[in-house]
Chain A
Amino acid sequence: MARKLEELQKQYNSASQQLKNMRGGRGPGGPGGMAMRQAGKPKDTAKTIARMLSYAKGYGGRFIGVLCCMLTTTLTSLIGSYFMAPIVDRLALAVNPNAEINMSVFERIADSVIQKILASTGHPSDAIMPYIAIACILLATVYLVGVATTYTQARLMLSISQNTIEKIRNDLFSKLQRLPVRYFDSHPTGEVMSRFTNDVDNIDMMINNSLTSLVSGIITLIGTFIFMVTTNWVLTIITIVFIPLFLLGGGAIAKRSRKYYAAQQAALGALNGYIEETVTGSKVVKVFNHEEICEEEFMLLNEDMRNKQFGANFWGGVMGPIMGNMSQISYAVTVGIGGIMMILGKLTPGGLTVFVTYTRQFSMPVNMIAQQMTTVFAALAGAERVFEVMDTPPETPDAENADPMSNMQGFVVMKDVTFGYVPDKIVLKNINLYAKPGQKIAFVGSTGAGKTTVTNLLNRFYDIEQGTITIDGVNIKDIKRDVLREKIAMVLQDTHLFTGTIMENIRYGRLDATDEEVIQAAKTASAHSFIMRLSDGYNTVIEGDGANLSQGQRQLLNIARAAISKAPILVLDEATSSVDTRTERHIEHGLARLMNERTTFIIAHRLSTVRNSNAIMVLEQGEIIERGDHDDLLAQKGRYYELYTGKRELA
């Protein structure tokens, strides 16, 4: 039974939202690649700008250079246009010597410069061809200066922006490494990723393009205005009268376009969400003969998209022609009035030629500035979010007299430990336990009983508020955090590997390990034989998160990575859950050797894995409800016995 459109929209819009959070990055594209960027308005613009500027510190000289270049560039382009006036007017005079030419201020200056050169080279003042030649040489010089400054400005700006962005990225990443694990619990990967991608990109774009466009736009605007006024103030007023009209028209269209755009994004989100899900799950679709229903539902979303997309694209696209041609009307009026002024002798033909060029130049920066403001606001909002991450408090620093624990034995004691991830929701209650060096302690219990939490407290991923944990009699809060973590080797439930060779991944456990030690560790973890079967052996590059290896193989690499570290404490959190039982049996000896020398905490789903432990803790809702070794617990005929004999379910 195909669902209705509204239902689909509701479900898949939220689904695609989640997906975006999970994946991060740009989201599933769409013509709104731009809109997928989180826009929004900055909250405290002044503060953010000040902080951005602090990144540009040290580039003061270059900034001044950029500014000078910009001024020169704009000036040259204005002067370049202006040289046309004396050329046109002198040509007109040459053809019609009786014409009355009433030059404006700048035109007179340009004309007198050319005349002076003309005189100094020994030409008569009415020699029109040498006059034009000199004008052209001057024009070429002006243009060349303009080209040189344009390039210099771009080059300077490039080095400022790239260095600034590099620094922001480095700072952000360093900060990320110092944030507590807790931060990542409340911030999904996608969100953190979008700080690096969208937000930093926006800042980059702002520094690189918008900033220069904005400043040069303003300079051009002012410069053009001055030249226009000096050429003819009446025509200038006409041009200016049109500006509010532009803004009004532009604003009205932009408003509509935004409305349709939002609708399109919602439709796109739902459509892409649906595609993601049903194409990714297409094997299930086929097993259940569900193809027709999927097609029907897809059609609904696709048709909806068709309608919404039209509105958004049309209103977005119509902006250009309407605005552009509005400036054509202002151009037309300028020509008409200009004609009358020429008849009245208040304007030269050259002046009009130049003026209409300026009319066009004038409307350009107005549009551009309006456009760039959007980018600038998006970038500032992005910068604000980036700084927010940088301002998040890091893991509490070590106390000054923190114990470096150079010779840790691994005697772990937990006393009255009570803990909750959020204040009002207790996950662990009154946990007491001790583990002598070399002992094995196992945790058994349903999902959410708090097994993993216990180990998370041990290495201070989270700090406890109540109770104490000591290692060799020292409170873990008084041990240097880095040392503490280095002394606890962890094999985590989720098998996370890094892009790089297998050798590098195993060596992650101890950076100074030799190749032989790496191979030895791999043998201990029974990973050696499958590694040797890979095309490049230990030099095989693992892609992404080890996607080219099976889950079981990745777990073996995780074990090897832990095996190579010389930590006196070992935590195995569902370390062999995906390894098939035959292989598991093979690595048992290796694991046994590993555990022999270390205090080990084991969390396992398969009860067979924990039976050899010195003590088994049965956790339920954060409390240890039974403890003892395997035989004790079976004899107790309590929860463990029920679980073991299959009388009870482990959720």
Chain B
Amino acid sequence: MKKWFKYVRPYLLYFILGPIGIIMEVVGEVIMPRLLAIVINNANAGTLTTGTSMGVMGLMILTALLMMAGGVAGSYFGTKASVNFAADVRKDVYANIQRFSFANIDKFSTGSLVTRMTNDVTQVQNFVNMLLRMTLRAPGMMIAALVMALILRPKLTTIFAVSMPLLLLSIGAIILRGHKFFRAMQAKVDGLNATVQENVTNVRVVKSFVREDYEIEKFGTANRNLKEAGMRAMKNMIMLSPVMTIFMNATVIAVIMFGGPIVVRGDMPVGDLSAFITYTTQILMSLMMITFMLMMSSRAMASANRIQEVLQEEPDINDRNAAYRDLTVQKGSVEFRNVTFRYYKTSEDAVLEKINLQIPQGATVGIIGSTGCGKTTLVSLIPRLYDVDEGAVFVDGVNVKNYTIENLRNGVGMVLQQNTLFSGSIAENLRWGDENATDEEMKQAAEYAQAAKFIESFKDGYETLLDQGGTNVSGGQKQRLCIARALLKKPKILILDDSTSAVDTATEAQIRKAFKEDLADSTKIIIAQRISSVEHADMIVVMDDGKITGIGTHDELLESNEEYREIYDSQMELRKKEG
């Protein structure tokens, strides 16, 4: 709770004024029956005059207008409070995500972060809104009505002492039971939706294996299960209204039964009895509202916790210990010294184990090995996307932890395996590499990445708008755009993580040529599946299961490294035959 106060404080006035408006409305609501009682009592006593009637009417209209004003003010300030609250929370969550390291992101997964920022924030916002406008209203109403009832006839209120706990208990029991049923139903709903989604995306598979009837039958079962779960949940919920009605009416009857004699004795005017009955309904109704609110709040609390998790998450890679704040990457040599790394700090198997590797400035290094052997992890340590567990990584002889993250990453251009392009024009996307790049520089980078030709073939050239995720360019084109984006950074160290897999061999060769001739000074580290992508490298690193099993040139490795030879044979069989 204290953690949330930070977002309340700037809007404290709204947070206070909102409920005041609502309370105004509530007070009016309990005054109304009291005013009616005046008319009824006077009528019964035969003392009612036109003046009294009109006076009461005037008072009631005034009350109604004040209530309206209170309600509108409550709505105004309540909305101001909740909207600003949510906007500030969103701002902070987003800002914190921007400071996250890759490890922080992995911990939550990007999908979950998106949900937390959108759905969960909305949940909490709606809850705050409801809290300000409804939740306070119900207890306020209950208290006000109780007070009025007490003023009218303290003894009669003892009836509530019996009926209120009973009502609370039975509604609570139904809701609690319902919770379980609804969770079960939601799981079935999710399952059914997943089945539909799967069948729509897999329509070709279903059809090619002629599994339509099989799927229909499977769906039918899932659908029936959902129906049954839904029935269970709803059967429980439809108990609510009858149970409520019973309690409400029983209480009203009790009030009449006990109140009647008092009236007959002449101790209470009849009008007061009907006012009392109105209060009874108001009290029990608010009690029910409170129960519902509590139920709703449990969902909001879950969301609130999920947001706090993100807000509380400490970015685990930061500049705090950077010794050389102004140092930038000048040359681009890299050294791994005894590096060990685990993604999960508790797991026994290390992803990288005791890696030692030296890469001189300007070298072209190829890294090859089967999926999951740690290639990506290894290169991720250079721009400090992750921090090593043991050992150290040096760039230009300086431990990467001693650079500021900004300076380090400015010196390292990396094309990730999951390359993402963003909504916007091609030019905007490329300028991610260097926002101040001239058109010439941009075209040059595209040229090197062999992207210039296809970009210029588009009607709008560099101004062509990319859809989200770059779905309107082919896989190979996307990869080349990502390379161009990284090249625009003019990095001292360029890392390509399997970034040419969708680019055909010929184009890849041209990219390689450009690297060699035009980026001679930069250190280039290339992870690849194909031998042809790395065979001309100055140095090839063969990895297997988190370890380096061989370092050398193509020819050396063919001689000495069995694994390399195996990969090579599988790919080059034919060429050898022809050669």
A322 touches B40 (CB 8 A): no
Tell yes or no: B219 within 8 A of A by CB: yes
CB–CB B422/A283 < 8 A: no
User: With contacts A147-B245, A331-B32 known, is A158 near B235, CB below 8 A?
Assistant: yes
Q: Is the CB of B227 within 8 A of A163?
A: yes
- Given the known interface contacts A331-B60, A349-B44, A582-B570, the answer about A192 and B200 at a Cβ–Cβ threshold of 8 Å is yes
| A294 adjacent to B98 (CB under 8 Å) | yes
10 extra interchain contacts, Cβ-Cβ under 8 A, other than A162-B231, A326-B68? A11-B423, A177-B212, A197-B193, A298-B94, A313-B129, A349-B270, A356-B36, A496-B202, A583-B370, A651-B476
Of chain B, the residue at the smallest CB distance from A133 is B257
Task: Indicate if the CB atoms of B110 and A279 lie closer than 8 Å.
Answer: yes
- Does residue A233 face the partner (Cβ distance < 8 Å to B)? no
Tell me how far the C-beta of B477 lies from the nearest C-beta in chain A, rounded to whole angstroms.
8
CA distance A95 to B200 in the complex (A): 76
Listed from nearest, the 8 A-B pairs whose CB atoms lie closest are A321-B71, A336-B57, A339-B53, A332-B60, A585-B570, A281-B420, A328-B64, A650-B504
User: Complex: how many Å from CA A124 to CA B86?
Assistant: 68
Pull 12 A–B residue pairs with CB atoms less than 8 Å apart, ordered by A. Answer: A80-B249, A132-B260, A143-B245, A146-B245, A173-B216, A177-B199, A193-B197, A277-B468, A281-B110, A309-B83, A336-B56, A353-B40
In the complex, whether A584 has a CB less than 8 A from a CB of chain B is yes
On chain A, the residues within 8 Å of B113 by CB distance are 279, 282
- Contacts A129-B261, A193-B193, A295-B94; is A287 near B83 (CB within 8 Å)? no
Answer yes or no: A154 CB below 8 A from chain B CBs: yes
A579→B506 CA distance, assembly (Å):
21
Given the complex, which residues of B lie within 8 Å of A336, measured CB to CB?
A: 53-54, 56-58, 60
Chain A nearest CB: distance from B123 CB in Å?
8
Whether A88 contacts B57 by the Cβ 8 Å rule is no
State whether A492 touches B210 (Cβ < 8 A): no
Name the residue of chain A whose CB is nearest to the CB of B417: A283
Residues in A with CB closer than 8 Å to B573 are: 608
In the bound complex, CA of A649 to CA of B200 (Å): 34
Residue B347 lies at the interface, judged by CB distance under 8 Å to chain A? no
Tell yes or no: A407 within 8 A of B by CB.
Answer: no
Near B by CB (< 8 A), chain A positions 140-192 give 140, 143-144, 146-148, 150-151, 154-155, 158-159, 162-163, 165-166, 169-170, 173-174, 176-178, 181, 184, 189, 192
**Among A15, A99, A129, A585, which residue has its beta carbon within 8 angstroms of that of B467?**
A15
Q: Is the CB of A306 within 8 A of B87?
A: yes
How close is A144's CB to chain B, nearest CB, in angstroms? 8
Q: How many of chain B's residues touch chain A, expressed as a range?
A: 35 or more
Partner of A646, one of B105, B114, B239, B505: B505
Q: Does A616 contact B (CB under 8 A)?
A: no
A197-B193, A283-B102, A492-B204 given; A166·B118 CB < 8 A: no
Chain A residues with Cβ below 8 Å from B489 are 288
Q: Tell me, yes or no, whether A84 is within 8 Å of chain B by CB.
A: yes
Interface band, chain A: 35 or more
A495: nearest residue on chain B (CB-CB)?
B205
Please determine whether B570 and A177 come into contact, CB atoms closer than 8 angstroms. Answer: no
B423 and A12 contacting across the interface, CB-CB below 8 Å: yes
Task: Identify which of A273, A331, A488 gathers the most chain B CB atoms within 10 Å of its CB.
Answer: A331
Q: Interface segment, A26-34, A50-58, A369-377, A396-404?
A: A26-34
Decide if B219 touches A584 in the complex (CB within 8 Å). no
Interchain nearest-CB distance for A19 vs B (Å): 6
Q: Which residues of B contact A544 (CB under 8 A)?
A: 194
- Interface: B45 (CB within 8 A): yes
Tell me the A284-308 residues at the B interface (CB within 8 Å): 284-295, 298-299, 302-303, 305-306
* Contact A287–B414 (Cβ < 8 Å): yes
For A92, the chain B residues whose CB sits under 8 A away are 44, 270
- B43 — which chain A residues lie within 8 A by C-beta? 339, 342-343, 349, 352
Query: A601 in the interface, Cβ–Cβ < 8 Å?
Result: no
Contact yes or no, A317 B133, CB < 8 A: yes
Inter-subunit contact A169/B418 (CB<8 Å) = no
Decide: B231 and A581 in contact? CB cutoff 8 A.
Answer: no
A-B CB contacts (within 8 Å), total count: 441
B406 within 8 A of A: yes
CB-based contact A581/B54 at 8 Å: no
Q: B179 interface residue, CB < 8 Å from A?
A: no
Chain B residue at smallest Cβ distance from A280: B110
Instruction: With both chains docked as a complex, state the minimum distance between the C-beta of B324 and any C-beta of chain A, in angstroms.
Output: 17
Contacts of B366 in A (CB 8 A): none
Residues from chain B with a CB closer than 8 A to the CB of A568 are none
User: When the two chains form their complex, are residues A508 and B249 in contact, meaning their CB atoms are under 8 A apart?
Assistant: no
Q: Which residues of B contact A169 (CB under 8 A)?
A: 192, 223
Whether A584 lies near B274 (C-beta < 8 A) is: no
- Knowing A3-B424, A158-B235 touch, does A15 contact B468 (C-beta < 8 A)? yes
Partner of A649, one of B35, B422, B506: B506
A275-B117, A286-B102, A582-B370 known; A155 and B271 CB under 8 Å? no
- Identify B201's interface contact among A165, A353, A496, CB under 8 A: A496
Residues of chain A with a CB closer than 8 A to B230's CB? 162
**A322, B72: Cβ atoms under 8 Å?**
yes
Of B141-149, B152-160, B355-363, B431-439, which binds chain A?
A: B431-439
A277 touches B423 (CB 8 A): yes
Give Cα A326 to B122, complex, Å: 31
B349 to chain A, nearest CB (A): 13
Report A467 CB to chain B, min CB distance, Å: 22
B39 contacts A325, CB within 8 Å?
no
Q: A151-B238, A317-B79 are in contact. Are A289 and B406 (CB under 8 A)?
A: yes
Given contacts A289-B406, A490-B208, whether A170 and B274 have CB atoms under 8 Å apart is: no
A584 and B246 contacting across the interface, CB-CB below 8 Å = no
As a 0/1 sequence over residues 254 to 268 of chain B, the CB contacts with chain A under 8 angstroms (1 = contact) are 001100110110100
Contact yes or no, A353 B97, CB < 8 A: no
- From B44, B53, B67, B208, A328 is in contact (CB under 8 Å) with B67
CB distance from B381 to the nearest CB of A (A): 13
B254 to chain A, nearest CB (A): 9
A-contact 0/1 string along B68-112, CB 8 Å cutoff: 101110111011101110110011001101111110010000110
Question: Which of B64, B119, B197, B468 is in CB contact (< 8 Å) with A19?
Answer: B468
Q: Does B48 contact A (CB under 8 A)?
A: yes
CB distance from B279 to the nearest CB of A (A): 14
CB pair A176 B208 closer than 8 Å: no
Taking a contact as CB atoms under 8 Å apart, the answer to whether B64 and A325 are in contact is yes
- Shortest A87–chain B CB gap in Å is 6
